[in-house]
Amino acid sequence: MAFHKLKQKRGVSAAPETGDRLKDLHAAIVHDDDGLMLRLLTADASLAAHAFGRFPLLSLCYMYRSRKIVRKFAPRLRAHGDNYSVSPEYPDDYRKFRELAGRSLRLFREGFVTYADMLAVIGDAPALRAELGAKPSEEQAERIAKIYELTSKRKVRVKANGVSIPRSRKMNAMQITAIVLIAFFGLGVAGGALGAYYAVPAAFGGDGSSGAPILIGNAEQFLFAAGDTQKRYFRLTEDIVVDASAYDGLNVLSDIDCDGHTIRVISDGSPLFGDISGKLRNGIFDFGEINIEYSTDSALLTRTVTGAAERITLKANGSLTDTSGNETVYFG
């Protein structure tokens, strides 16, 4: 029986007159249109509690990698619990989910695909750990373990402080170390001048000169430094964790000395920076587990370097799948 025709366990049917809004709602998720999502939820807040077939909105956002919508609207999409209004499932959603779920598809014959379910299917381990929390229920843990086993043949262990998801085996060049990390396509993506919109956090020290760089010690301060438009000098004082979705292809104009520290990057595979036109040096960027399909030259750290990237190490584990059919694809 087709997945999208199976019976739902919970929820009520959506009213017919909401059809146009639901089409727009689905389109907003597929295209990660946060502006359209804002207009729709402002006009009708109840849309946040909707599901297309067995896919709640936030689960769909994870599946389509709708980073902007997740970043801005996740709390609103979670607020209703699992009391969804339900409209028919889109065949394209089913086809995409079927490809991602593989052998685990049989686990989703009934009920909704929860947020944790979807994160397990797409293999987003950092987000899944955050979703499950320190003490997932035994039922949750067993379900996630089964999904991982069927999709990636990895064993998930439940520990006292949460779920342990092992890294997948190295494939191709999965331990990547580079001095200059450049994508080999010439796409100049203009990042926003975020520095203009942030006040300098009070924890900063130094005056921004080369002799007295501004000291930065957390993710918020690192984002400020990366987006600083005054081309000042910064020095990192701690290992930090950053979310790549907050950077959105930002262009680095400043001089950032990472001073040997590790920057753990939570990423869906999109480049952290659009361009490094200033200077980035002495840092270890650890992308953890990545699972990326690519058909053109791509990058994890930056699309281009028009300034300097010196003594930078990039680490990642997971899988790269070349779908181009070409013999050589550069991955920087």
Contact by Cβ (8 Å): 305, 181? yes
Neighbours of 286 (CB within 10 A): 16
Q: Rounded to whole angstroms, how far apart are CA atoms 280 and 84?
A: 46
Contact by Cβ (8 Å): 57, 30? no
At a CB cut-off of 8 Å and minimum separation 6, what does 218 contact?
203, 238, 240
Q: Rounded to whole angstroms, how far apart are CA atoms 15 and 178?
A: 55
Domain ranges for the chain: 3-164, 194-322
Q: Determine which helix (DSSP H) or strand (DSSP E) holds 202, and give its type and residue range.
A: none
Contact by Cβ (8 Å): 73, 33? no
The pTM of the full predicted model, rounded to 2 decimals, is 0.48
pLDDT at residue 290, rounded to an integer: 66
Q: Rounded to whole angstroms, how far apart are CA atoms 192 and 197?
A: 10
Tens of pLDDT along the chain (332 residues) come to: 333 333 333 444 444 445 789 999 999 999 999 999 999 999 999 999 999 999 999 999 999 989 899 989 999 998 887 789 999 999 999 999 998 888 889 899 888 999 989 988 888 777 777 787 766 777 887 888 888 778 865 565 655 545 555 544 433 333 333 323 333 222 233 233 223 333 444 445 678 888 899 999 888 888 888 888 888 999 999 898 888 777 767 889 899 999 999 998 887 667 788 888 899 999 998 887 766 554 444 567 887 888 888 888 888 766 554 444 443 333 33
Q: Rounded to whole angstroms, how far apart are CA atoms 284 and 269?
A: 17
At a CB cut-off of 8 Å and minimum separation 6, what does 240 contact?
217, 218, 219, 222, 261, 263, 264
Tokens representing 331 are: 């991955």
**How far lies 122's CA from each of 194, 309, 328, in Å?**
30, 31, 26
Please report, in angstroms and rounded to a whole number, the separation of the first and last CA atoms in the chain. Answer: 44
Neighbours of 325 (CB within 10 A): 7
Q: What is the DSSP annotation of 119-145? A: HHHHT-HHHHHHHH-SS--HHHHHHHH
pLDDT at residue 269, rounded to an integer: 66
pLDDT at residue 54, rounded to an integer: 93
Q: Rounded to whole angstroms, how far apart are CA atoms 59 and 310?
A: 39
Tokens representing 162 are: 């949460």
